[in-house]
Amino acid sequence: MNLVDQITNEMKDAMKQKNNATLSTLRLLRSAIKNKEIDLQEKLSDDAVIAVIKTQVKQLKESVDAFKDAGRDEMAESSAKEIDVLQKYLPAQMSDEDLETIVQSSINSLGATSKADMGKVMGASMKVVAGRADGTRVKDVVGRLLAVLTLVVVGNTMMVTDVHAAIELIGDTSMSTSFFEVDMALRVFRVLLLWAGVFAVNSILHGGFHYMVASMRDNEHITAWKKMTTGFVGSIVVIALFSITTVFIEIL
Question: Is it the case that residue 230 has pLDDT exceeding 50?
Answer: yes
pLDDT in tens, 90-130: 887 788 888 888 988 998 888 887 778 888 988 898 888 87
Average pLDDT over residues 179-194: 65
pLDDT in tens, 42-53: 998 988 998 899
pLDDT band at 210 (very low <50, low <70, confident <90, very high): low
Question: Is it the case that residue 174 has pLDDT exceeding 50?
Answer: no
Any idea where the domains of the chain sit in the sequence?
Answer: 3-87, 96-251
Question: Is it the case that residue 176 has pLDDT exceeding 50?
Answer: no
Query: Domain 3-87 is classified in which CATH homologous superfamily?
Result: Uncharacterised protein YqeY/AIM41, N-terminal domain (1.10.1510.10)
pLDDT for res 173? 45
**Residue 248 vs residue 86, higher pLDDT:** 86
pLDDT band at 9 (very low <50, low <70, confident <90, very high): very high
Burial class for 33, CB neighbours closer than 10 Å (0-12, 13-18, 19+): buried
**Residue 122 vs residue 147, higher pLDDT:** 122
Question: Is it the case that residue 26 has pLDDT exceeding 90?
Answer: yes
Highest mean pLDDT among 49-58, 93-102, 173-182, 210-219: 49-58
Q: How far apart (Å, rounded) are the C-alpha atoms in residues 4 and 11?
A: 10
Q: How far apart (Å, rounded) are the C-alpha atoms in residues 180 and 187?
A: 11
User: According to the 3-state scheme, what is the secondary structure of the chain?
Assistant: CCHHHHHHHHHHHHHHCCCHHHHHHHHHHHHHHHHHHHHHCCCCCHHHHHHHHHHHHHHHHHHHHHHHHCCCHHHHHHHHHHHHHHHCCCCCCCCHHHHHHHHHHHHHHHCCCCHHHHHHHHHHHHHHHCCCCCHHHHHHHHHHHHHHHHHHHHHHHHHHHHHHHHHHHHHCCCCCHHHHHHHHHHHHHHHHHHHHHHHHHHHHHHHHHHHHHCCCCHHHHHHHHHHHHHHHHHHHHHHHHHHHHHHHHHHC
Highest mean pLDDT among 48-52, 169-173, 214-218: 48-52
Question: Is it the case that residue 32 has pLDDT exceeding 90?
Answer: yes
**Residue 90 vs residue 194, higher pLDDT:** 90
The pLDDT mean for the chain works out to 77
pLDDT for res 13? 92
Average pLDDT over residues 174-197: 62
Select from 197, 199, 201 the least CA-distant residue to 239: 197
Q: How far apart (Å, rounded) are the C-alpha atoms in residues 171 and 142?
A: 44
